[in-house]
Amino acid sequence: MLPIQSVWLIRISLIYLILGSLLGSLLMFHKAFGWNPEIWKFLPLHYSILIWGFFIQLIMGTAYWMFPKFLSEHPRGSSKQAWLMFSSYNFGLILYLITKFFIPIDSFALLGKCLIFFGLLTFMRLAWVRIISYT
């Protein structure tokens, strides 16, 4: 059975897939019908949503579920660390996307990047401990 953290990582990644696909379809409609050329400023947002929001979170959610389990009562490690990974990554991503593309405040964009990095480090720690301790 999927752990609840994996379920939420995959659910949120699918929401980002929908948002990124909608933004991409708007860009393609502009390419076909030539609305407003200012819409092309959202192309980096489209990439960021799909790569960092969808792709990386889908990988994290699937890998957290599939990596080898501990042979104990907590098969995937600390549940608190997994929730910390989920919340810091998603809060950092939302903060980064808002400040990078809508409200340009560099210090908040840097904070968002740091939270994303912290979430990725927490994921790597959770996965690494399970990989090297498997017997």
Report phi then psi at 91, rounded to 5: -65, -40
Neighbour tally for 135: CB within 10 Å: 4
**Which of 86, 72, 80 shows the shortest CA–CA distance to 115?**
86
Confidence of residue 71 (pLDDT cuts 50, 70, 90): low
pLDDT in tens, 106-122: 899 999 999 999 999 99
Residue 76 pLDDT > 60: yes
CA 74, CA 7: separation in Å to the nearest integer?
17
Counting the structural domains of the chain, the total is: 1
Residue 70 pLDDT > 70: no
What residues make up the domain containing 80?
4-132
